[in-house]
């Protein structure tokens, strides 16, 4: 690559942590009470978005007789409990640990609100200490959620790095768009159920974090 990469910024849900199945399970329980089905035709629209944005799309797409906030309220306690046992996705810990040991600056930029983040973080406190900066979806300085570039630009600003020197890891189309809008390079690891044409303008597409090649980006190679 011609760009010099000095900072890595990661999305969290569906990229580092295996949370998407939990979201799907809980959402289906809620919409099922109204005779609706939450499938990939709806899920693909909301991956990577802030909770309230996703809730609005779910309520409108499935014509639910509740408000987006009602939907969020009904799922909150169940999600908080289930997220306490969230597992890391393949290659996630190995990847971040490798770069942490080599002194590469790393950050987390997640659409998750603080309560949801804390539940997911509980089991992975030591691992997440590798990130020099963590920006959450309800950060008071964050104006717009993904696909706006704000969350990635805020992370870069706090780290004091040039956005052009940041490499973002994402799984969601909205996150990919946000990274590109921020002037950053972006590696995407889409869910197998997602249409890969939605990622055609990504810098690189991988099937797993295990397939990432640091040397391609001028980063310290795996040993």
Active site (catalytic) residues: 11, 13
Contact 162, 182 (CB under 8 A): no
Tokens of 5: 């990469």
Separation in Å, CA 98 to CA 103, 139, 147, 171: 9, 28, 29, 20
Tokens of 191: 């869910």
Write out the H or E segment, with its range, that includes residue 108.
strand 105-109
Which positions ≥6 away from 124 have C-beta within 8 Å? 17, 86, 88
Contact 167, 212 (CB under 8 A): no
Quick check: helix, strand or coil at residue 81?
Answer: helix
Pairwise CA distance, residues 134 & 70, whole Å: 28
């Amino acid at each position: 690559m011609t760009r010099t990469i000095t900072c890595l910024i990661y999305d969290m849900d569906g990229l580092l942590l295996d949370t998407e199945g939990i979201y799907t399970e809980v959402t289906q329980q809620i919409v099922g009470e109204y005779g609706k089905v939450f499938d990939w035709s709806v899920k693909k629209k909301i991956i990577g978005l802030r909770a309230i944005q996703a809730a609005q799309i779910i309520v409108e797409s499935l014509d639910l007789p509740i408000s987006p906030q009602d939907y969020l309220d009904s799922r909150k306690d169940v999600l908080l409990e289930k997220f306490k046992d969230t597992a890391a996705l393949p290659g996630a810990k190995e990847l971040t640990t490798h770069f942490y040991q080599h002194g590469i600056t790393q950050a987390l930029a997640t659409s998750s609100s603080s309560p949801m983040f804390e539940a997911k973080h509980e089991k992975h406190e030591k691992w997440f200490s590798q990130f020099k900066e963590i920006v959450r979806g309800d950060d008071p300085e964050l104006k717009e959620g993904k696909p706006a570039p704000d969350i990635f630009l805020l992370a870069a600003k706090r780290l004091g790095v040039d956005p052009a020197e940041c490499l973002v890891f994402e799984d969601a189309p909205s996150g990919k768009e946000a990274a590109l809008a921020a002037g950053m390079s972006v590696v995407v690891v889409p869910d197998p159920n997602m249409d890969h044409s939605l990622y055609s303008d990504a810098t690189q597409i991988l099937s797993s974090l295990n397939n990432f090649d640091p040397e391609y980006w001028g980063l310290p190679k795996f040993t």
